Amino acid sequence: MKTRVTEMLGIRYPIVQGGMQWVGRAELAAAVSNASQISDGASGLGAATVRMLVGQGARVVIADVNVQAGEALAAELGAASRFVRTDVADEASARAAVATAGDAFGGLHGLVNCAGVAPAEKVLGKDGPHRLDSFARAVSINLVGSFNMIRLDGAIRLLPK
């Protein structure tokens, strides 16, 4: 498998050759030039993805629990973006984000899941076993939340209205 490296906001990322062409910044933006949704889009990799896509002409729904950062980013980017406070593991919250894409941009044509947490705990540490609540939270956000966003994205794009 061949790879190349691209740079986004000063950070270098490997891009893996997929199928017939390289999938990079311009190709990603062209594929989702209508409307996309970025989970955890208000900071870090999510915000960098939002800025890149809007810079390439896409319209983006920023789905994040961080209201202050999300509203600030949406204000910075203007009419090409909308912010929706979203808990990816909560069905009603995720549905509201997907509905915003439909209402604001006429549909949803792409999804980038950036939401995730990584509790820094050992399975068995000097203070005892890993806390079950922090593991359950990680599974809820990283696994259930990603699945929730994928299924709702698929439903708005693929199911008959």
Q: What is the structure's pLDDT at 28?
A: 58
* Bigger pLDDT: 19 vs 25: 25
pLDDT at 154: 84
* Residues 6+ positions from 72 with CB-CB distance below 8 Å: 42
**Over residues 53-80, mean pLDDT:** 94
* pLDDT of amino acid 14: 45
pTM of the model: 0.78
**Higher pLDDT among residues 33 and 137, named by residue:** 137
116, 122, 123, 129: CA torsion to nearest 10: -110
Query: CATH number of 32-158: 3.60.20.30, 3.10.450.50, 3.40.50.720, 1.10.40.50?
Result: 3.40.50.720
The helix/strand count (H/E) of the chain reads as 6, 9
Going 39 to 115 to 71 to 151, the CA torsion angle's sign is: positive
Instruction: Flag whether pLDDT at 58 surpasses 70.
Output: yes
Q: Looking at residues 104-119, what average pLDDT do you find? A: 87
- The ranges assigned to domains in the chain are 1-30, 32-158
